[in-house]
Structure 1
Amino acid sequence: MSIDFWRQLKLEAENLKNSEPLLSSYVHTCILAHHNFETALGFILSNKLADTVMSSLTIKEIFEQCYLMHPEIAEAAMVDIQAVFNRDPAVTSNLTVLLNFKGFQAIQVHRLANQLWKTGRKDLALFIQSRNSEAFSVDIHPAAHIGQGVMFDHATGIVVGETAVIDDNVSIMQSVTLGGTGNEAGDRHPKIREGVMIGAGAKILGNITIGEGVKVGAGSVVLNDVPAHVTVAGIPAKIVGKPTCQKPCETMQQNILED
Structure 2
Amino acid sequence: MMRWYSLLTSTPKQVSLLFVSHFHSTFVTPSPKQVSQIHHRWWGYPKPSFTPSSPSCRQRVNTLHTGSSVEQIQVHEVVEHDVWMKMQDEARFDATEEPILSSYYNSSILSHKSLETALANHLAVKLSSASLPSSALSDLFVRVLETDQAIMDAVKSDLRAVKERDPACISHVHCFLNFKGFLACQAHRVAHKLWLQRRKILAVMIQNRVSEVFAVDIHPGAKIGSGILLDHATGIVVGETAVIGNNVSILHSVTLGGTGKVSGDRHPKIGDGVLIGAGTCILGNIKVGEGAKIGAGSVVIKDVPPRTTVVGNPAKLVGGKNNPVKLDKIPSFTMDHTSHISDFYDYCV
TM-score interval, normalised by the smaller of the two chains: over 0.9
SS in 2 for 1:109: helix
Matched residue, 2:13: none
Q: Is 1:247 aligned with 2:330?
A: yes
How far does residue 240 in structure 1 lie from its aligned partner after superposition? 1.2
SS in 1 for 2:132: coil
Count of paired positions:
259
Q: Which of residues 108, 112, 123 in structure 1 aligns to 2:190?
A: 112
| In structure 1, distance between residues paired with 2:96 and 2:247 | 34
Q: Which of residues 64, 72, 86 in structure 1 aligns to 2:164?
A: 86
| In structure 2, distance between residues paired with 1:250 and 1:98 | 20
Query: Which deviates more, 69-78 or 97-106?
Result: 69-78
Matched residue, 2:134: 56
- Would you identify which runs of 4 or more consecutive aligned residues in structure 1 move more than 2 Å? 241-246
| In structure 2, distance between residues paired with 1:21 and 1:69 | 35
How far does residue 245 in structure 1 lie from its aligned partner after superposition? 3.7
- Cα deviation per residue 1:16-59 (whole Å; 9 max; x = unaligned)? 01001111110011000001111001111110100011100000
How far does residue 122 in structure 1 lie from its aligned partner after superposition? 0.4
SS in 1 for 2:305: coil
Matched residue, 1:101: 179
| In structure 2, distance between residues paired with 1:19 and 1:243 | 46
Query: Which deviates more, 38-47 or 64-73?
Result: 64-73
8 A contact 1:195–1:246 mirrored in 2: no
8 A contact 1:215–1:243 mirrored in 2: no
SS in 2 for 1:89: coil
| In structure 2, distance between residues paired with 1:247 and 1:226 | 15
Letter in 2 for 1:148: S
Matched residue, 1:135: 213
Letter in 2 for 1:123: I
Matched residue, 2:295: 217
How far does residue 258 in structure 1 lie from its aligned partner after superposition? 6.1
- Cα deviation per residue 1:180-234 (whole Å; 9 max; x = unaligned)? 0014211000000001000000000000000011110000000000100110011
Matched residue, 2:266: 188
Q: Which of residues 94, 102, 109 in structure 2 aligns to 1:16?
A: 94
| In structure 1, distance between residues paired with 2:84 and 2:306 | 36
Closer, same or farther: CA 23–245 of 1 in aligned 2, 3 Å: farther
Q: Is 1:208 aligned with 2:286?
A: yes
The root-mean-square deviation of aligned C-alpha atoms, in Å, is: 1.1
Counterparts in 2 of 1:16-35, with a 5 A limit? 16-35=94-113
SS in 2 for 1:61: helix
SS in 2 for 1:212: coil
Percentage identity across paired residues of the two chains:
51
Q: Is 1:235 aligned with 2:313?
A: yes
| In structure 2, distance between residues paired with 1:203 and 1:143 | 19
Matched residue, 1:7: 85
- Cα deviation per residue 1:77-99 (whole Å; 9 max; x = unaligned)? 11001001000112121111000
- Cα deviation per residue 1:234-253 (whole Å; 9 max; x = unaligned)? 11101014365431000111
8 A contact 1:211–1:226 mirrored in 2: yes
TM-score (norm 2): 0.73
Query: Which deviates more, 181-190 or 240-249?
Result: 240-249
| In structure 2, distance between residues paired with 1:139 and 1:59 | 19
Matched residue, 1:69: 147
SS in 2 for 1:189: coil
TM-score (norm 1): 0.97
8 A contact 1:2–1:37 mirrored in 2: no
Letter in 2 for 1:38: E
Alignment gaps of 5+ in structure 1: none
Matched residue, 2:67: none
Which has the larger Rg? 2
SS in 2 for 1:187: coil
Letter in 1 for 2:246: D
